[in-house]
Structure 1
Amino acid sequence: MLDIELNDQMWEVNTALTVYLQEHQFPGEKEVFLFFSYSLYALPGIALIAFLFCDNKMGALLYVCLIQTIFAENQILKNIYRQARPYFIESAIQPYECNKEFGKPSGHAMSSSAMYFLLPLIIFPAILSDKSNHKYLRVIVIAIVTMWTFMTGFSRVFMGVHSFGQILLGWVYSAYSIFIYMRYFHNPITHYIKQCLQPGSFGVSSNVVQAVGLFALLWTGLSILLFEFNNKVLGEEDEVDDWLDALYQKCANQKTHYKFNSPQVLHNISFSLSLYIWLPFSFILGVKLSKGIYNENQFSVYYKLLTFSQKVSRVLIFILLISTLIPIILSQFENSYGYAFGKILPLSFLLGLHITYIYSKLLNYFKLTVEGDFIQMSSQLVSAPEGYKASELGQINF
C-alpha cells in the first residue's frame, strides 16, 4: 500500500536526485557505481568454486537454485507491475546500462540482496554460527553484506535504470523470499536430500519429482497468462514504442531498434526469463536419476589424495561439459515463445542435469570420483531406484 501511495513522490525525488548525481559526478564515481552494480555476477562463481572444491556441495547447488527462483520471481513481478525504467520516460536521465525489460521491482535489488545474504547462510553457514570464536567475524560479514546490498541498489539509481521505489520493492520481495525459504524450507529440503543420498536409501521419491515438476508447470502457465495479458489487454504499443525509442537513442551501443513484439524487450523478455524456474526441477530430477550417494564433510580429506593432473582433469571435464550449452546460449529467436522454449527452458533444464547427473557420471567413467562428491557413483553404494519413504525420514513429510 505504501508503494502505491508514495510511488509518484518517490519517482519525482528519484528523478531530481539521479539528474543531480549524473550532472555532478566526481572523477571515478561512475566506475565505483559500475563496480557495485556488476559485482553480484561474481557470486555464482563463488558458488561454483564451492561446488568444485569444498565439502558443502549441496549448499552451493541449493544456493544457485534459490537465486534462480528469486530471479524468475522477479520477472513475473515485472510483468505484473509493468513500470518503465526512469531513462525510458525521463528525458534528462541518461542510462549507463541499457536494460530492456520493465523496471519494477528491481531485479538487481532482489537478486543481489538474496545473493549476498544467502551466501553465508547457505554455502558458508559456519560464519554466522553462534560459536564465540566467530562473533566478530559474524558482525563484520553482516556489515559488509548490508553495505554491499545498499550500494548495489543505489548504483542502479545513479545509472538511471531504476527508481527508489523499484529498488525498495525489490528489497522487500527479496526479504520475504529469504525469510520464508530459510524459516520453512531450507532445513527440511537439506535433510531430505541428504537422507535420500545415504548408502542404501531409496533415493528421491517420484512424488517429490512430480510435485516440483507440477510447480514448474504452473509457474510456466502463470508466465504465459501474464505475457498474453500484457500483449492483448495492456498492449499500449505507442507508449512502448516511445520507451524503445528512448533506448535506441540514448544507448550509444544500441544498434537494433526494437519493437513491441521483439523478444528481447519488456514483457517479452520477462516472460522468457521467468522460465529459469526449471533449474530447480532439473536439479531434483538429476538427483533422482543418479542413484548416487553423498557423504558430506569427507570431500576435502580425500580430495588431497588426488594428483595435480587428476584435479585439473575434474575441472576440465566440468568446463567442457558446460561448454556444450554454448550453442543454446548463442541461439537467436525472433519470436518470444521461441526464445522462451527454445533457449531459456532447455538451458535451465540441461544445466541442472549437467551439474548433478551427467558430471557425476563422467567423473565415475574416468575414475575421478572422490569420496564425498555431491553424487558419488559407486557399484556397491548406491541409492535404490525408488523414492525414500516418508515414514523413514523422521523429520519431514513431503
Structure 2
Amino acid sequence: MPIWSSDQRFRGWLTTSNNNDIGTLFLIVATSFFLIGGILAMLIRAQLATPGSAFLAPEVYNQVFTMHGTVMMFLFAIPFFEAMAVLLLPGMLGTRDMAFPRLGAYGLWVYMFGGSAVIIAMLMGLAPDGGWFMYPPLSSAAFSPGIGPDVWLLGITSIEVSAISAAIEVIVTVLRYRAAGMSLARMPIFAWFILIVAVMILTAFPPMILGSLLLEVERAFDWPFFQVENGGDPLLWQHLFWLFGHPEVYIIFLPAAGMIATVLPVMAQTNLLGYGWVVAAAVSLAVLSFGLWVHHMFTTGIPHMGLAFFSAASTLVAVPTAVMIFSWIGTLWKGQVRLELPMLWLLGFFATFVIGGLTGVMLAVVPFNWQVHDTHFVVAHLHYVLIGGYVFPMIAAVSHGDPGE
C-alpha cells in the first residue's frame, strides 16, 4: 500500500494518521457532539417554555444547562475548526499532509477520550451542575460532591491538550510546508485565519489547563487555591477561566471569518476586497481579544481604573470586526452575487452576527452591563454571535465544498 494512501478497513480508521482521515473523524465526532448539544438546548427550552414547569427536576436542569455549554464550547466549536484545518490546509498550501501526522492522530484520540468521558458521565447521572464555567465555591468539593466535576475537569483538560497539539501542527505546517514560491502574502486568506487562531490557542489555552488542574487538586487534596475560608481567592479562577474564555470566542469566530472570506468572493464572482486589510483586522482582533476578559467580571468589585480600561478595550474590538464586515459588503457590492445555498447562509450570518455584535458593544458599557448581567440579554448576545458568527458560516462552507451535485 502506498505510504500516502488510507487503509479503508476498520483497523485502518483506528491507526490512520492521514490528514483526510483525521479531518473526517474530527468532523464526524464534532458534528455528533453538536447534535447532542442541540438536544440539550431543546430540553432547556422545553423547561423554560412555561412558568413553573416540572419538565426537568431542578438538579437535572442544572446538569443539562452545564452540559449544553460544555458540549457546544469545548466539544463542538474548537474541534470543528480543527477538522476544517486538517482537511483543507494541505491542499491550500500545496503539501501532501500536515507537518506532524501522528501528533494530529494523538490530538484526535485525546479529544475523543475527553469528550466521551464527559458525555458518559452525563448519561450516568454524574454530570456537574455548577455551570459550564464551574465557578468556585459552587464547584468546590463542599458544594459539588461526587466525581462528576472531577470527570469534567479531567475531560476538559484532555480536550485542551488536543487543541494545543492541533495548534502546533497548524503553525508548523503554515510556516514551513508551503509550496515553493508561496509567500505569506500569497497564501489563501483561510490559511491566514487558521494561523492566527493557532497562535491564539497556544496563548489562551494554558491558563485554562492550569485552572482546571488547580481546581482538581483543590477538590482532591483540599488545597486552598480558590476557597476563601482557607485563604484562597475565587476570583483567581474567574481570571484564569476568562483569560481563556474570551479569546476563545474569537478563536471560534475567526475560522468562520476565514470561511466567509473564502466562500463569499466565489458567490460574488470577484476577488476579496482589501485582502491586506482583512488580514490586519484579524491580527488586531487576535491581539485585542486578550485584553477583554474582565468584562465578564464587571460585577465582581473590579477597581474603577480596571473597569475603564476593559470597557474601552471591549468597545475598541468592534473596529477590526467592522473592517471585516465592510470588506465583505464591499466584495458583494463590486461583484455579481449568486443567491445559491452558501450565499443564503452568509446572508443569515450578516443579519444575525451584526445584531450580536451591537449587543456586545452595549455590554461593554459598565452601567448597562451591571443591569443585564446574568440575564437573558447576555444569553441572547452569546447565541447571536456564536450561532450567527460560527454555525451559519460553517454550514455555508460545508455546503459550498460539498454541494451534493
The two structures have a TM-score, normalised by structure 2, of 0.29
Higher Rg of the two aligned structures: 1
The structure with higher relative contact order (CA 8 Å, sep 6+) is: 1
